[in-house]
Structure formats: structure tokens, C-alpha cells
Structure 1
Amino acid sequence: MNSEPDIAIIGAGAAGIGAARRLAQTGLSISIFDALPRLGGRAWTCKTSAGPVDLGCGWLHSADRNPWTRIAEESGFKVDRGLTAWGEQYRSLGFAKAEREEARRAFARWSHRVATAQPASDRASDALDPGGSWTAYLQALSGYISGDELERISVKDYSAYDEASTDCNWRVPTGYGALIAASLPAGVELHLATPVEALTLDERHVVLQTAGGAVRARAVILTVSTNVLAGGAISLPSALDPWRDAAARLPLGNNEKLFLEIVGDSPFAPESHLLGDPRDPTTGTYYIRPFGSLLIECFLGGAGARIAAAEGHRAAFDRAIGQLASLFGSSVRDCLRPLVASDWARTPSIGGGYSHALPGQADARVALARPLDDRLFFAGEATHTTDFSTAHGGYESGVRAAEEVISVVVPSSQSRA
């Protein structure tokens, strides 16, 4: 282990890798540390008997301007630009066309208020129809989008993302997580399964304490999740209390995925989708047979994801299979097998899905992104003011933090490399 690298990066997810890719162009020595035994952070393509599945981010959101699209093409990863089944309800099962139209109108009314008549409270729930019949549906959508109920979502924050999004969503058939993990540049000293236990500042360096010993770096880029930063997993100096406070105002929502394997004959059509129960805010939403595979991907958000985390995988799979059986008939129970599930909420080095600002706290993203003393720099999806909650937001924040480092530690002629 290099005990005195020029730059240390804490976190080997999209932000850390983005920072490393930019810094690798400067000739600086770079060490990257992650508590997990793998690259990618919240991007994780898991190999299964039924094929690769993304337990974390799975869609190239705003793909027409997403830097991972370019990286994928340059690296030989196929990008699928085909239309997807999101927004459809296969054969209108459990959600008739007339009901879908009513629910979409309710969402449109809420979206219009959010965009044009933002409530003074900045609380997204205050833009709902009073006594509206589709509130449970909108809460379910909030769970998928933000990982939490509308009562805990900042309208200003939500609108910033919504206005910047291009609604262009593509896929990487071999896995978004696989793409991100394959993108760490050569020459970076990588330390996996190596959590940073403490961070201190001396007169000239940032000192990291790890199980492998102390590391003294000229500058550090910290990319850990807001739940980790706000918690006590890393011992931090009191000078960082304002950053911990900002992180606490940008908590991670709850988002989990379950994958079911399809065996034998089944009624499941390739590239189809349906919402489990539009009147249940804890419902799963199901993407069936992506790319023709024999898989069903179940997304859980907000209250549904919290229930899954609390009750465990077995109960979550049982609930998902039961919901599908209620739509397709009880016989489908015989052709569905639990395959693999995420557990982001109970992963100590992450602690949830992705960040959202609490009402009145959208400006915490700017506060969280500020450097400290030209030695400690911050990146991660939560520091991006418009593309938070995404892998491309994480990547862009890493590049931004790297540029900040370069402006301080690299001579101007070299920084243009």
C-alpha cells in the first residue's frame, strides 16, 4: 500500500471512478478505498444462473447526454436504445384502461402544481389533490422515483431533477454495474474490502486510518453516501460537522430489487410490465422478461422497500409472488423461483437507495459539495444539483471534484493534459 499517495479517493462507485478517470490524466498517484469487496458501489451487476442482473442502477437515464453512454460505446459495451414497456399495464391486468387514465391525470395535476405553483412549505405532499382517490398511486410512484413518501420530498429538489431530465432511458444488456466496474482506469491503486475508519487533518495532509495502516494524502475526495457521512461509520473531525449536517438533510430513500426466475411454461410475455396494485402505496412494479430473459424484475420503493428490509428476503419474495399470482392466476406460483435480491438499506457502507432533499433543504446539495481547506473534496450523486440519484450524476460529480483537486495541486500546464 502506498502510504503517501498524492490523492486518495474514498468510495469506488460511479463518483469515485469518475474522479479517478479524470485524475489519471495528470500523472498524480491515486489510491482508492472502498469498504465493499467489489467495485461499483450502488451499481452492481450480479451474475446469476439466469443471466446478469443489476441490483442497483439499471437504466441509463437521460441517456442522450449521459456520459456513461459514451463510455459504454468506447469500451465495447452494447447500449440498447429500444423502447421499453415502462408505463404499460400488460393486458390491463388489475389496472383497467379507464383507471390508468384517471391515475395519469392525477399525476399530471400534481406535476403541474409542482412546476407552476410550488407550495410554500416545499413539501411535495402539499401539491396533492385534497382527498384525491389516487394518492396511494402517487405515493407508490414517489417511492420508485425518490425512495420516500411525498411528505418527505422537497418540491424544489424534485423539480430541479425533473426539469433537467431528458426522459431518454436506455439499457446496457450486460449490466450497468458491469460497465461502471470495468471503467476504473489503469494505474490507480485499488483497495477493496478496506473501509476507512477515521479521517483527520494535520498541517499539510489528510490522514486516513484503515485496517491496513495509515495513509497520508495531499488531498482526499470523499464520495461516501449521505447516510454514511451523516452517521458514525467514519470518525471525522469537528470541522466537518457542517458537511455532516448537510448530508443529514439529504437522506437516502429506500429502494430495493427482487429478481424472480421463470421456469417451465408461463403466461409471461417478453418485454412487458405491470404495476402490482395501483391502490397500494407499498406495491411492487414488475418488469417482465427484459431482453427476452426468463426473469421478472420487481422494484420496491419507499414504504414497500422498508417493509422488505424489515421482514427479510423470504417475506418479500412471497409477497411479490402473491401479487403476481393475484394478477395472472395462482398457477404461476409453480413457475416462479426466488433468484436474488438487493439489501441496500442493510449494507453498512451504503445504507439505502439514493438521496432526496427533505422539504426546505434542496440547497444542502450545494453545501455538501463545498471543499474544505483545499484538501478535502466531496463528490457523489447527492452533491449534484440536478442529476442526483443517478450514476451519471455521481460520475459528473466525481469529475467536478477532480477538477477542483487539479486546480489546487497540479501546475497549470500539467492540468490541461
Structure 2
Amino acid sequence: MRPRRRWHRRRHSLQRSATPSNPGASHGLLSGLGVRLLGVDVGTGGNARGGRRPQRVIVVGAGAAGLTAANALTTAGVETVVLEARDRLGGRVWPEEVGGVPVDLGGAWIVGPSGNPVACVLNREGIGWQSAESLGGIVRGYDGVLHREMPESDLWSALAAVGQFEEACPELVAALGPNASLEEGFDAFLTKAGLSEPARRYAAFALHATFEGNEAESADRIALTPTTSEAFDEGGSHFPDGSFRGLITALARGVDVRLETIVSRVEYSEGGVSIETSNGTEHGSHVIVTVPLGVLKAGRIEFSPALPADKIEAIERLGMGDLEKVVLRYEQPFWPDPGANFLFYLGAQPGEFPLIVDYTSFAGGKPTLIALYCGAYRRAIADMPDAAIAARFAEVVAEIAGHEGAAPSSTHVTRWTSDPFAMGSYSYYRAGAGATAAERDTLGAPVGDQLLFAGEATSGEHYGYIHGAMLSGAREAERLLDERPGQGVVLESGLLVKEGCNEAAS
């Protein structure tokens, strides 16, 4: 749900292959992707773990992870049913029209399209994308305390501090210890830098806006200790043409999805699984649980037997972020240079709409602004009505423009944190919890042969990204199918999903 990360500890080069073991050749939506995650040379007998072959798989959740897994299983000939609590597909990928403009209210970015399964599926579907940097946009900063635009030199100096902090991070971790928060790291870095005002204030703002936006939480709650979540290397950040509706449509094609079916209990044993829902009980040989980490943390699904202690501990130690969006659709723009712009807003209240995306160029010229916010500010305004939050954002826009324009014709305010089927935006590492990528591996590990888990929070390398969710779903489908006799693992469109998709599958 976020733009490309820029922190060296979470970015750029992929340090480990996320490809599941024993990959081989196969066909299928994940084949033209060149994504060779799911096809393998098959043997005889059961799956790779020696369990019973999948006969009827229940997938809980129709987000990117669940749909990817279900599509692959269905294509391989396994009876698969997806149970989705909402009345729509996509989970935290939520394309919605706001005043006639398709906007992704959840996951919105293709983060490095080269080798990215998201881009590969879109390409196979004939759906293009636009670079967030390629449309001649302007990066601006506005100081809401001094009520003036930030001088360009001050803005770029502040943004340069982000890279300098990245370089200093290992030294800071060594000095502050494994339980230090990102906020403590910021303070130590800025103190050592010895910046005068307003340079220190601007640098502090840039650090908070960048990293809190990446991790979807306030810096005092985010761990400083280096972790790894990767974008793909090439091409920067992009928006899909017409939103991610095409991605979800492609992943759901041919898949049996039961909407408005709320799962309350999962029973599992060597004999199979029994899933209690609001519409009755479903039985199967295996279940893949793909609900968000926030839902697991809230205990909204009962497991019988109870989950192992190490998995419960992993759920507790990881954090669930709370990034939200406000969308304003205007009939006429009145702010400077409407187009593909990015605005940093330093408000009098910390964390107030720190990043504003001028989405006008991506919306076919229809004036549209999107603000992102999270953490302490999100909590401070959580009880405000949607209309009041949108009105406050409109006031900020008028302040930046230097005059009021007409009121927005349409608005939308997301509420991922209070959504009972999300309970947050995406996962992060909590300060003081001592969590590492090992907790994500534990979260994604199967319990016995019948109970499997997927979702962005289970990805040690790609957490928080749509492509991480897709890869996790493909991982669990492969776990069930990698030794299924005579089967290759592919999606309905003939594409294979795996990390890296530049060559066509054979």
C-alpha cells in the first residue's frame, strides 16, 4: 500500500531469492509472466511435505494473496473455494470511483515493474501503467507553521537527510541497541548532524514523512533495527492505468469465490479441515488463511486446535500499520501547476497529511488530490466524521494555493484501521518487540499439513507490497502442488507467478 521504499535496509537489490524450493518448468496467468514460481517437475505420491494431496482447498480471503493461490490451484485442477467476508473482491486492494475517477483506496503502486508479478499480470492483460516520476511533475514543500512554501533548496536539503540517515542507520543501531525505535534513531542522527533552524525542523519532517509513510505508523512505534522489505530494482514507482481493478479481475478469473461469507472458526486435523462461516460450514482437505495480520491479532478467527505458541508469538510481535487516505475530487483545479505533483506538507500538527499526491494527470486530467496519513495523527482524528476530515484536507489545499476554490465535488476517506476485515493497512516491525524476518517465516509456516498461511505479513522480503501478497499466495499453492503428478502450477490466463517474470514460461 505504499510507494517504493528508499531505506537501504529495506530496499533496492534483492538479497535473497524468495523463489520456493524445487522450481521447475510449467505453464499458465502466472506463464506469460515468465514467473516460474509455480511449475515444477512432479513426482508421485503426496505433496512435498509428505501430506495428503489437495482434494478440496478452502482459501480464506479474496485479496491478492488468496486470489493468486486459488487461481493457481484451480488451474491445476484442484477444487478450490474462496471465502470472502466482504461484498467485493480484492481485500486491501480496493479500486473505487470517486467522482468518476478510478482510485486505488488501498494498494496503489507498482513498485519496480521489472520482474514484478503485478506488472507481469497487467502486461498480460493489456493494461499499462504510468511512472510517478515521468509526467513532468513537481515536488514541492509547504510549511504550514510559517505559512509559506518551503524554499526549494531547503526542501531538497531536507530530503537529502533521508539518504544520510540511511547511511548512518547501522551505526545508530549499534549505538542504540536492538530495541531502539525509529524516533530514537532520528533524534540521535539529528543531534549529531548539528543542524540549525529551520534546517533541523525540515530534516526531521522529511524523515518522519518518508519512513512513517513507508511503515504506516508513528516513528516511536517502529523498530530501528534493520529489516528487509524489497521493491523490485528497475523502473521506480508506477500507477496502473484505470486502477488495479484489472489485476483483481485477472486473478479472480475462473475462481469460485463466495462473497459475504465471514469465517469465524477453523478446525483442522489429519482428516481435513472444517470452516465455520456466517453461511454454514465448509469442509476440505486443506485451508489457506490469507486474512490480514490485523485480523489475526484481533483474534477474529478461532483456530482448533489453537495455533502453536511460536505462531501466536509472531502475530503478537509484528505490528499492523494504520495508513489512511483522503481523496478530494474537484471540478476545477485552483492549486499551482495541477498535474502529476507530489507535495510535502509540514503542518502545525505533526503528521497532518504529510504527503499529498496530485493525481490529476493519472486521472485523465480530472482534478484529484490524495492525502496520506497515519500513526499519531490518524489516532487523533479517528473519531472525526469523514466529512470533517475531508473538509480539513480541503482547508490545507486552500492554504497551499493561497486562496479558496470551489468545494470538492466528491470525497472519500478510508477507514482501514476500523475495518473489521482488515484492522489496519499493512504490517511493520514494532519497536521493542525484537521481531525479525524470522517471525514472518513463522507466521507463514504451515501448521501440520492441512493449515497454511499467506499474505503480505508472511513475506520476509516483500511485506507491505501487493507483489509480496501475490508471491506468498503462489508460495502456498506451490507448497500443495509441487509434487502433484502431471500438474504444472499456473494461473488461468496461462501465466506463472514467481519473483522475476521476464521470460515466457514454456
Fold shared, TM-score > 0.5 on shorter chain: yes
**Structure 1 pair 398/327, CA: closer, same or farther in 2 (3 Å)?**
same
> Corresponding residue for 1:112?
167
Match of 1:290 among 339, 361, 364: 361
Identity of aligned residues (%): 23
> Corresponding residue for 2:472?
397
> Corresponding residue for 2:346?
277
> Corresponding residue for 1:379?
454
**Structure 1 pair 155/403, CA: closer, same or farther in 2 (3 Å)?**
farther
Q: CA–CA distance in 2 between the matches of 1:142 and 1:9?
A: 33
SS at match of 1:182: helix
SS at match of 2:119: helix
2:284 aligned with 1:234: no
Match of 1:42 among 92, 96, 103: 92
Name whichever structure is richer in helix by fraction: 1
**Structure 1 pair 249/166, CA: closer, same or farther in 2 (3 Å)?**
farther
> Corresponding residue for 2:265?
198
**Which structure 2 residues correspond to residues 13-412 of structure 1 after superposition, within 5 A?**
13-81=63-131, 83=134, 88-89=139-140, 94-115=149-170, 118-119=173-174, 120-122=177-179, 123-128=181-186, 129-131=189-191, 133=201, 134-156=203-225, 159-161=227-229, 166=234, 168-176=236-244, 178-237=245-304, 238-264=306-332, 266-268=334-336, 269-277=338-346, 280-284=349-353, 285-288=355-358, 289-291=360-362, 292-332=365-405, 334-359=406-431, 360-362=434-436, 363-407=438-482, 411-412=484-485
Q: CA–CA distance in 2 between the matches of 1:145 and 1:167?
A: 18
Q: Given that residues 140 and 301 in structure 1 are in contact (C-alpha distance below 8 angstroms), is that contact kept between their aligned partners in structure 2?
A: no
Deviations 1:104-131 (A, max 9, x none): 2322221112256534225323322254
Q: CA–CA distance in 1 between the matches of 2:240 and 2:252?
A: 20
Q: Given that residues 377 and 405 in structure 1 are in contact (C-alpha distance below 8 angstroms), is that contact kept between their aligned partners in structure 2?
A: no
Q: Given that residues 136 and 280 in structure 1 are in contact (C-alpha distance below 8 angstroms), is that contact kept between their aligned partners in structure 2?
A: no
Q: Given that residues 83 and 257 in structure 2 are in contact (C-alpha distance below 8 angstroms), is that contact kept between their aligned partners in structure 1?
A: yes
Deviates more, 1:260-269 or 1:320-329: 260-269
Q: CA–CA distance in 1 between the matches of 2:231 and 2:324?
A: 26
Q: Given that residues 13 and 43 in structure 1 are in contact (C-alpha distance below 8 angstroms), is that contact kept between their aligned partners in structure 2?
A: yes
**Structure 1 pair 146/84, CA: closer, same or farther in 2 (3 Å)?**
farther
Q: CA–CA distance in 2 between the matches of 1:240 and 1:165?
A: 36
**Structure 1 pair 99/164, CA: closer, same or farther in 2 (3 Å)?**
same
Counterpart AA for 1:23: L
Q: CA–CA distance in 2 between the matches of 1:76 and 1:389?
A: 25
Q: Given that residues 229 and 244 in structure 1 are in contact (C-alpha distance below 8 angstroms), is that contact kept between their aligned partners in structure 2?
A: no
Q: Moved runs in structure 1, 4+ residues, more than 4 A?
A: 84-87, 90-93, 162-167
Deviates more, 1:204-213 or 1:185-194: 185-194
Counterpart AA for 1:311: M
Q: CA–CA distance in 2 between the matches of 1:232 and 1:216?
A: 21
**Structure 1 pair 403/251, CA: closer, same or farther in 2 (3 Å)?**
same
Deviates more, 1:188-197 or 1:148-157: 148-157
Q: Given that residues 79 and 172 in structure 1 are in contact (C-alpha distance below 8 angstroms), is that contact kept between their aligned partners in structure 2?
A: yes
SS at match of 2:149: coil
How does the TM-score come out when normalised to structure 2?
A: 0.75
**Structure 1 pair 413/162, CA: closer, same or farther in 2 (3 Å)?**
closer
Deviations 1:174-203 (A, max 9, x none): 102x02320234442211111101111244
Q: Given that residues 355 and 388 in structure 1 are in contact (C-alpha distance below 8 angstroms), is that contact kept between their aligned partners in structure 2?
A: yes
Q: CA–CA distance in 2 between the matches of 1:270 and 1:163?
A: 25
Deviates more, 1:219-228 or 1:72-81: 72-81
Q: CA–CA distance in 2 between the matches of 1:111 and 1:155?
A: 11
How does the TM-score come out when normalised to structure 1?
A: 0.90
Q: Given that residues 251 and 357 in structure 1 are in contact (C-alpha distance below 8 angstroms), is that contact kept between their aligned partners in structure 2?
A: yes
> Corresponding residue for 2:44?
none
Give the length in aligned residue pairs. 409
**Structure 1 pair 250/56, CA: closer, same or farther in 2 (3 Å)?**
same
Q: CA–CA distance in 1 between the matches of 2:135 and 2:89?
A: 28
**Structure 1 pair 314/39, CA: closer, same or farther in 2 (3 Å)?**
same
**Structure 1 pair 263/35, CA: closer, same or farther in 2 (3 Å)?**
same
Q: CA–CA distance in 1 between the matches of 2:171 and 2:471?
A: 29
Please report how far the alpha carbon of residue 5 of structure 1 lies from its aligned counterpart in structure 2 after TM superposition. Answer: 6.3
Q: Which runs of 5+ in 1 are unaligned?
A: none
**Structure 1 pair 127/340, CA: closer, same or farther in 2 (3 Å)?**
same
**Structure 1 pair 290/352, CA: closer, same or farther in 2 (3 Å)?**
farther
Please report how far the alpha carbon of residue 72 of structure 1 lies from its aligned counterpart in structure 2 after TM superposition. Answer: 0.5
Please report how far the alpha carbon of residue 335 of structure 1 lies from its aligned counterpart in structure 2 after TM superposition. Answer: 4.3
Q: Greater RCO between the two (CA within 8 Å, min separation 6)? A: 2
Please report how far the alpha carbon of residue 79 of structure 1 lies from its aligned counterpart in structure 2 after TM superposition. Answer: 2.0
Q: Given that residues 98 and 327 in structure 2 are in contact (C-alpha distance below 8 angstroms), is that contact kept between their aligned partners in structure 1?
A: no
Please report how far the alpha carbon of residue 361 of structure 1 lies from its aligned counterpart in structure 2 after TM superposition. Answer: 0.5
Match of 2:59 among 2, 5, 9: 9
Q: Given that residues 43 and 180 in structure 1 are in contact (C-alpha distance below 8 angstroms), is that contact kept between their aligned partners in structure 2?
A: no
Q: Given that residues 57 and 79 in structure 2 are in contact (C-alpha distance below 8 angstroms), is that contact kept between their aligned partners in structure 1?
A: yes
Q: CA–CA distance in 1 between the matches of 2:381 and 2:119?
A: 32
Q: CA–CA distance in 2 between the matches of 1:101 and 1:242?
A: 45
SS at match of 1:347: coil
Q: Given that residues 136 and 279 in structure 1 are in contact (C-alpha distance below 8 angstroms), is that contact kept between their aligned partners in structure 2?
A: no
Q: Given that residues 340 and 357 in structure 2 are in contact (C-alpha distance below 8 angstroms), is that contact kept between their aligned partners in structure 1?
A: yes
Q: Tell me how large the CA RMSD over aligned residues is.
A: 2.5
